[in-house]
Amino acid sequence: MNNIVQEMIDWIERHLSEGFSLEQLGKDMGYSPYYCSFKFHQATGMTIKKYRSLRKIYLSTTALKDPQKKIIDIAFHYGFSSQESFSRAFKRYFGISPNDYRKSPKPLQTFVKLRLQDDGGWLTMDISQKLKIEVLQEKINAQYDQKLLNVLNGQMMYEEFAKQQLMGNSDYVPFNEAMCANPTISPIFSEEFNKLRAIGHEVSLQQYEQVTLNPLKPLLTNDYECIVLWFGDDMFCQMNLLTVLAFLEQQSYQGKVYYYMVKEMTYEVEETEIELGPYGEVYQEVLMHHRLPKTTLIPVMYQGIQLFFSYLNEENEITVYIKKHLHLSQNDLLKQLFSLFPHYGLGDRQYIKIIEKIKKEYSE
């Protein structure tokens, strides 16, 4: 089935800037329009309409970086009826207007062309971009020397970076949390916070301290002139990043803060300097009260928040997909989930928990 859907994806990509016709897609594929629509949704977890919309709005960000292209022309090229409708869609997805993004491009979550694989192979890290990271590290190390701390999202990234010796002589620690799951409170890393998070993760307080707090000791106790936050662009990473930024504000940190948006599978990285100030309030609004903040954020965090709110719903694209594919073995289902929903950044532990919950509901 994946081969058929991949042919549909290739066809859709070739016609992104044209008026879409489900009837023409079906005719060219040799299937009925209904069959094409059904199979696409079944295999990818999203409708063709949503896929086309996400791809066009993402590709428009690349076009906006060309100052020679007028925004209205970009809008028409990607099928919007007016510049105003394009601006509304852009702001709804990225949290800022196309004009503001053009003036100051900021990191955003990419939405690349889907590539389905029948073998559903597991993803592994590729260090082909290692030299790019080393260049960034040399620049930072030259400025701050030993007064620099790198905070890495999760144990996997921490171990890979350590193995490749990418940190030089600076300190580095892993942030071993999953802030997109379970309730949280403020102050961050207070006794009440630690107890609540331990309960949510179904571990003892001692285990939580061992896994999460002890590795963070340099961040919790030392003074640094610069802190570099290495977090991905997915929802999981963005909720963790938000928590770390809120914690730095809570501690009245006065040094420099850089966000290095890193693709954990390719080591591609994008540098952004972060101005502390709004993140404590955003943390409370988003992670504690589940409300969309009014503060203007970097697009990638805004996208992460939107995905987080979707993830909180009982009926979201992940749970819908799982319910339709419970006939698969757990291993095969996990492979499909990793392939189709990388923008959520969930690990096998989170997916297995969702799968088991759904199976239990179906058996009752």
On the CB side of 44, how many CA atoms lie within 13 Å of its CA? 24
| pLDDT value of position 125 | 38
Which residues lie below 8 Å from residue 319, measured CB to CB, with a gap of 6+?
354, 358
**Predicted TM-score of the model (pTM):** 0.84
| pLDDT value of position 160 | 77
In CATH terms, are 2-103 and 130-309 the same topology?
Answer: no
Q: What is the mean pLDDT of each run of 10 residues along the chain (364 residues)?
A: 83 86 90 89 85 89 91 91 91 90 86 64 43 62 73 86 71 94 97 97 96 96 92 95 98 94 70 94 98 92 96 94 92 90 90 92 80
Domain ranges in the chain are: 2-103, 130-309, 313-363
Specify the CATH architecture of the domain 2-103: Orthogonal Bundle (1.10)
Measured CA distances, 290 to 73, 144, 183, 184, 309 (Å): 37, 37, 10, 11, 7
| pLDDT value of position 282 | 98
Sort 16 into a burial class: Cβ within 10 Å, 0-12 / 13-18 / 19+: middle
| pLDDT value of position 127 | 39
| pLDDT value of position 54 | 87
What CATH number was assigned to the domain covering residues 130-309? 3.40.50
Query: Which tokens hold the place of 286?
Result: 């988003």
